[in-house]
Amino acid sequence: MEATSGVRADRWLWAVRLYKTRSLAGAACEAGHVEINGLPCKPARTVRIGDVLNVFAGEIHRTVKAVGVLENRVGAKLVAHYLEDLTPAAEYEKARAKQFTPAGIRPKGAGRPTKKERRTLGSFFGTEE
């Protein structure tokens, strides 16, 4: 399963579970969300051992180093054998902070709550019977 020379970028990104599908990995490469050694890459660019990839996946800018190349998708437990995560902890904290927004906070400029939203808020805070 391991190739010695390298593998396509979209295939490697999919195989190490940075993207859910290979087509999403290819689209990310085309959109400029993936860099190999500081240079933007196309889906067909070869990933070799020792390459450093900057990947924007979801809400996180991840930095990973290719430790091994592979063509087929591996289980989540085996991913650590093929990449080294160099992402700073601040990136993960920033993504975690976005997930937890306090309940009952409305975005600024959203206007008055609708009747349905008032009922939902009332049932949440226990004021609705």
pLDDT by residue, tens only, the chain of 129 residues: 444 589 999 999 999 999 999 999 999 999 999 999 999 999 999 999 999 999 998 888 999 999 999 989 999 999 999 999 999 988 888 877 776 666 667 778 888 888 888 888 777 777 765
Kindly report the pTM of this predicted structure: 0.72
Three-class DSSP category at 68: coil
Write the CATH number of the domain with boundaries 7-87.
3.10.290.10
Could you state, in order of their start, the residue ranges of all structural domains in the chain?
7-87
